[in-house]
Amino acid sequence: MRAVVIDELGGTDRLRLTQLARPVPVSAELLVQIHAAALNPIDAKTRAGKGAAAGIRSFPLTLGNDFSGVVAQAAYEAHPLQPGAEVYGMLSVPRTNGSYAEFAAVPEMSIARKPSNLSHIEAAAVPLAALTADGALRVAGVTAGSRVLIHAGAGGVGHFAVQFAALAGAEVITTASPRNADWLRELGASEVIDYGSTRFEDVVSGVDIVIDLIGNVHDNTGSRSLGVLRADGILVNVPTGSWPSLAEDAAAAGRRATGFKVSPDGRRLAEFTDLIEAGKLRVHIDAVFPLDRVAEAHALLEQGHTRGKISLDITR
């Protein structure tokens, strides 16, 4: 099968298209023929050896956590997802090989039926980002009437977080560029702050929840966000590379803050399928690349200004 691997950590030039043996599923795994994969920031961080990925020693490694495709082999005879079923899900790279490949062996707890109204390109862009957004808001305890500030609302995780918060009945404030303002209001944001011209802390205060998708990598956004929280509010930090410094600042400021790391969850994905088919949850694709142009896709991802997600068409 065709697959994109890395043989060492580094830049986009380390991504190599090659032929690998088709994976053989073990107990409680399905074999999925992948039609599309999606990129996430963790893909680029893993490739570059940043954070926990610095310790990776097993190569070649296939990247990619998100996928959509068709079941080629069921986990067992009575499994509800039989050959031919359209599915989507999330893998756990680098513990397993990833989705930049024509086939993957997928644990049954990591997979769900694909929304019938999405293409594979669209469906592949849902799992990791939507699970992250949903999980972060659940950790924060979002409820109807909560005031929620979401940083980077137009990104992959951000545009799902805006929708989930709005579905919960929250008042949603987000930071984004002006070109994304109208679109984010369509998704449920009540206020969009232009991060290029306005410091959010000058116009926002007394929020119950901050979903911090930036951290302290850019202008100490995470630590600055602590000052806009109510006394009993909470900040949930997703780019956990910023977590140590942010945790110290939160303790010094007397504010609650926690990090969040996503895990595969097929049951929750099944609930997302229902929301998507009911028209209550949308996914936006910024760009699509064939598998042999994955280096270009990574370069675009690392620019950090995409609207929604970037997908790979594995069939091309």
Q: Cβ distance 13 to 48 under 8 Å?
A: no
Classify 130 as helix, strand or coil.
helix
Query: What is the model's pLDDT at position 78?
Result: 87
Query: What is the model's pLDDT at position 270?
Result: 99
* Distance, CA of 156 to CA of 21 (rounded, Å): 31
Query: What is the model's pLDDT at position 57?
Result: 86
> Model confidence over 8-44: pLDDT tens digits?
999 999 999 999 999 999 999 999 999 999 999 999 9
The partner residues of 38 in beta bridges, in order of sequence, read 66, 311
Mean pLDDT lowest among 69-78, 214-223, 229-238: 214-223
**pLDDT (average), residues 126-136:** 99
What does the block give as tokens for 293?
């142009």
Q: Residue 211: is its pLDDT beyond 80?
A: yes
From the list 27, 44, 72, 32, the residue with the least C-alpha distance to 297 is 44
Query: What is the model's pLDDT at position 208?
Result: 98
Give the chain's mean pLDDT.
96
Of residues 185 and 246, more confidently modeled: 185
In the chain, the domains with their CATH numbers are 2-126+283-313 (3.90.180.10), 129-259 (3.40.50.720)
Query: What is the model's pLDDT at position 93?
Result: 92
* Distance, CA of 282 to CA of 159 (rounded, Å): 9
Query: What are the CA-CA distances from residue 28 to residues 7, 112, 165 (Å)?
Result: 29, 14, 34
Residues 96, 100, 106, CA angle at the centre, nearest 5°?
40
β-strands 191-194, 171-176 pairing? parallel
* Distance, CA of 39 to CA of 157 (rounded, Å): 12
* Distance, CA of 252 to CA of 116 (rounded, Å): 49
Residues 309, 39, 268, CA angle at the centre, nearest 5°?
75
**pLDDT (average), residues 282-303:** 98
**pLDDT (average), residues 169-184:** 98
What does the block give as tokens for 138?
């659940």
**pLDDT (average), residues 109-117:** 99
* Distance, CA of 114 to CA of 33 (rounded, Å): 13
Query: What is the model's pLDDT at position 54?
Result: 83
**Which of the 8 DSSP states describes residue 178?**
G
Residues 112, 113, 118, CA angle at the centre, nearest 5°?
120
Q: Residue 240: is its pLDDT beyond 70?
A: no
Q: Residue 52: is its pLDDT beyond 80?
A: no
Q: Cβ distance 32 to 91 under 8 Å?
A: no
Q: Residue 167: is its pLDDT beyond 80?
A: yes
**Matching residue, tokens 């100490």:** 220
Of residues 215 and 108, more confidently modeled: 108
β-strands 285-290, 309-313 pairing? parallel
**Which of the 8 DSSP states describes residue 101?**
B
Q: Residue 242: is its pLDDT beyond 80?
A: no
Query: What is the model's pLDDT at position 218?
Result: 77
Q: Residue 127: is its pLDDT beyond 90?
A: yes
**pLDDT (average), residues 57-61:** 92
Of residues 249 and 100, more confidently modeled: 100
Count Cβ atoms within 10 A of the Cβ of residue 290 and give its class: 0-12 exposed, 13-18 middle, 19 or more buried: middle
